[in-house]
Chains A and B, each alone.
Chain A
Amino acid sequence: MMHAVGGRRLLMKVFLVLLVVLSAVAVTVSVHESRRLIAQLQTEQRSSVRLQSVWSQLQLEQGTWGSYSKIEQLARAELHMHMPAAQEKVVVQP
């Protein structure tokens, strides 16, 4: 009887030690994972800042190349376009 109780206690101890080891491993894994994710977050944040700056530069570029004065100048000078005078227009009613 005593022997059986002692055996069960030993089993319990072994089980608890196993749990402790497992939890230690889990802590290590989760710390590693969290570091990896933070590194990834850092990379993403950096690229967000970079993309933001690229975006603002592209907006400026578009604003410059697509400015109405530039388009008008090109349309008139290079493509020889003009606004149709009123009598050149035909209104198509739907």
Chain B
Amino acid sequence: MTQVAGKRRNIAGGYHPGRMLFVFGCWLFCLLLLLWRAVDLHLVQHEFLQRQGDLRNLRIEPLVAHRGVITDRAGRPLAVSTPVTTLWANPREVLDATEKWSLLAGNPVLDSVALAARVKRHADREFVYLARHLAPADAQKVLRAGVPGIYPLTEYRRYYPAAEVTSHLVGFTNIDGLGQEGMELSLESRLAAESGSKRVLRDLRGRVIRDIELIKAARSGEDIALSIDLRLQYLAYRELLGAVTELHASAGSLVVLDAWTGEVLAMVNQPGYNPNNRARIQVEHLRNRALTDVFEPGSTIKPLTVAAALESGLIDLDYRIDTSPGHLRIAGKTIRDAHDYGVVDLTTLLARSSNVATAQIALAMESNLLPMFLDRFGLGNSTSSGFPGESQGFLPFRARWHDLETATLSYGYGLSVTLTQLAAAYATLANDGVRLPVTLLKRETPPSNSGEPVISRETARSLVSMMEAAVADTGTARRARVAGYRVAGKTGTVYKMTASGYADDRYLALFAGVAPLERPRYVVAVVIDDPRGDDYYGGLAAAPVFSRVMAGVLRTMRVSPVVTVDAAANTGEAPL
């Protein structure tokens, strides 16, 4: 008791510096320990810990971007990207859960039998495609069954609702969504989408709680409106297909232009292909022949020859040419007309398509004047369409011209053009002699002052009205008439060039024309390649296609009929 009391007294009264030091020492040690730990965590291990923490909480999330939609001028979709779901499986996980396979028994999209076959064959792998490019709803049917080891993957697929009607112009993309042909290729940089990504912070339950940073902004592709009108495109497609099939022709093209703006309203070719199903595609069917294939334009350039002669002041509108006896001998070759037309004026020259008269005019012209004029009309020059694979065509310029070369050039041999160039030249005539750049993209406003005057307004107008004679009863293109409207145009029948020179039984049938004559605006140019049978002339093979397409164009564009129609003149059922 005394001892205890004594001890207490000691505690209460005495001071033991050793104990105090000991306690302070302990505290200091603890403090240093903590400090060291803090330094260790914050400085030494900081990076490792930060990374580990980020691995648990930071995620990179994708930002979705879409390839631009291609539409026609009224916004009707021609090429649309839509998400599709690809199902893939990890065979090991699937094989571990054999008892759950029955959940997919009789599934309409992916049956349990198919699943078993697929995963067993690739049992050693960790990734196998089950079904690619499914509609998202179909994929859900499989995923909802809940078989472990099956995962979805979102991919994008490009669909072409208008299919064959627009395939040559629009083109298509490959499985990675890159443009391969047509406008999909030439507009690739504007259509292409760049998907982005961002870093986010997530909580324990995986919910995103904060955006940390934008790693790469998503950039969706631009939506682009083409100049074509799907209504006219379909009409042109149907009529061209009908004509090519009926005539057993090997190919054909048709272009509709708006002469006031230079826009292409329709551009179709045969043979075609379905861009949505390219399994058995033939490469030659992919060509947009209206822009890539060149041919000798034949008689269809006679109006341009006459325009050159008129514009250079060589002849005037009342000029007459003696074509007797219906043929002309130049340098050992004979240029022939179908008949002896006698003395003809310019209107008859165009209506009857006289080679002799055209050659005589050309021979009176200075050499190189005609090719220079044709050059200004845009022949032998790429149009400004920017279409991949477009041909430039060919115009001859020579230091010395032989008479025969001049003569044949005047009626369309010895040069080569694309159908679009030919249509653009006629559009120049229709647009009062002012040449506008051709475009495949919609122009919001008609280009002002960008046109290049090629010939005078008076010359252009008189040429268009002269060409009306070609569809008159005595002309070569009676079947180009459009009931209710005044139209004008020019036929062409060209011998096809083959490896062994001009073939004498293979032709190109051509027609190019404008309407309505009160205010010429729409240009339709048609070429039918190698029509079989006896109706191979431009006036018989190509002119009816022009007539049907132009009738539809004028009706669709709400041009009111001006000519009273009698029953006899009616050319038959117009296209819908």
Contact = CB atoms under 8 A, between A and B. Distances in A.
A13 interface: no
Contacts of A86: 483-484, 561, 565, 569-570, 574
Interface size class of A (residues with CB under 8 A): 20 to 34
A53 B565 contact: no
Contacts of B561: 86, 89, 91
Contacts of B572: 85
Given A42-B208, A87-B567, A59 B574 contact: no
A33 to B, nearest CB: 12
A68 B234 contact: yes
A34 B484 CA distance: 70
Given A68-B231, A69-B234, A91-B561, A60 B77 contact: yes
Interface in B524-576: 560-561, 565-567, 569-570, 572-576
Interface stretch (A4-12, A21-29, A75-83): A75-83
Given A53-B82, A68-B230, A85 B207 contact: no
Interface in A61-75: 62-64, 67-69, 72, 75
Q: Which of A57, A75, A76, A86 has the most CB of B within 10 A?
A: A86
Interface size class of B (residues with CB under 8 A): 35 or more
Contact of A60 (B64, B161, B575): B161
A20 interface: no
A59 B573 contact: no
Interface string A35-66: 10011001000000100110011011011100
B576 A60 contact: no
A87 B566 contact: yes
A87 B570 contact: yes
Contact of A35 (B64, B163, B209): B209
B208 A38 contact: yes
Contacts of A84: 574
Interface string B145-184: 0000000000000010111010000000000000000000
A57 B136 CA distance: 10
B424 to A, nearest CB: 26
B567 A52 contact: no
A80 to B, nearest CB: 13
Given A49-B64, A53-B82, A89-B561, A83 B573 contact: yes
B66 interface: yes
B210 interface: yes
A56 B136 CA distance: 12
A42 B211 CA distance: 10
A17 B161 CA distance: 69
B573 A82 contact: yes
B388 interface: no
A86 to B, nearest CB: 3
Contacts of A63: 76-77, 80, 161-162
A62 B561 CA distance: 32
B142 to A, nearest CB: 18
A38 B161 contact: no
Q: Which of B83, B211, B560 has the most CB of A within 10 A?
A: B83
Nearest to B568: A87
B274 interface: no
B81 interface: yes
Contact of B161 (A59, A76, A83): A59
A72 B552 CA distance: 14
A67 B162 contact: yes
Given A52-B66, A85-B570, A72 B576 contact: yes
A81 B231 CA distance: 18
A29 to B, nearest CB: 15
Nearest to A35: B209
Given A38-B211, A63-B161, A91-B561, A85 B77 contact: no
A42 B59 CA distance: 14
Nearest to A92: B560
A20 B344 CA distance: 106
Interface in B336-366: none
Contacts of B162: 63, 67
A87 B565 contact: yes
Contact of A53 (B83, B566, B569): B83
Given A38-B209, A39-B207, A63-B161, A85 B573 contact: yes
Given A67-B162, A86-B483, A39 B208 contact: yes
B574 A60 contact: no
A62 to B, nearest CB: 8
Contacts of A81: 576
B487 to A, nearest CB: 13
A82 B234 CA distance: 17
Nearest to B71: A59
Contact of B576 (A38, A83, A85): A83
Contacts of B573: 82-83, 85
Contacts of B80: 56, 59-60, 63
Contacts of A75: 576
Contacts of A39: 207-209
Interface of B: 64, 66, 69, 76-77, 80-83, 136, 159, 161-163, 165, 207-211, 230-231, 234-235, 238, 483-484, 560-561, 565-567, 569-570, 572-576
28 contacts: A34-B210, A38-B208, A38-B211, A42-B207, A49-B64, A56-B82, A59-B77, A60-B80, A62-B77, A63-B80, A63-B162, A68-B231, A68-B234, A68-B235, A69-B165, A82-B576, A85-B483, A85-B572, A85-B573, A86-B483, A86-B561, A86-B565, A86-B569, A86-B570, A87-B567, A87-B570, A89-B484, A89-B561
Given A35-B209, A56-B81, 13 more contacts: A42-B207, A56-B66, A67-B234, A68-B235, A69-B165, A69-B238, A81-B576, A82-B576, A86-B561, A86-B569, A87-B567, A89-B561, A89-B565
Which 9 A-B residue pairs are closest in the complex by CB-CB distance? Answer: A63-B161, A86-B483, A56-B82, A68-B234, A86-B565, A53-B83, A59-B77, A83-B574, A35-B209
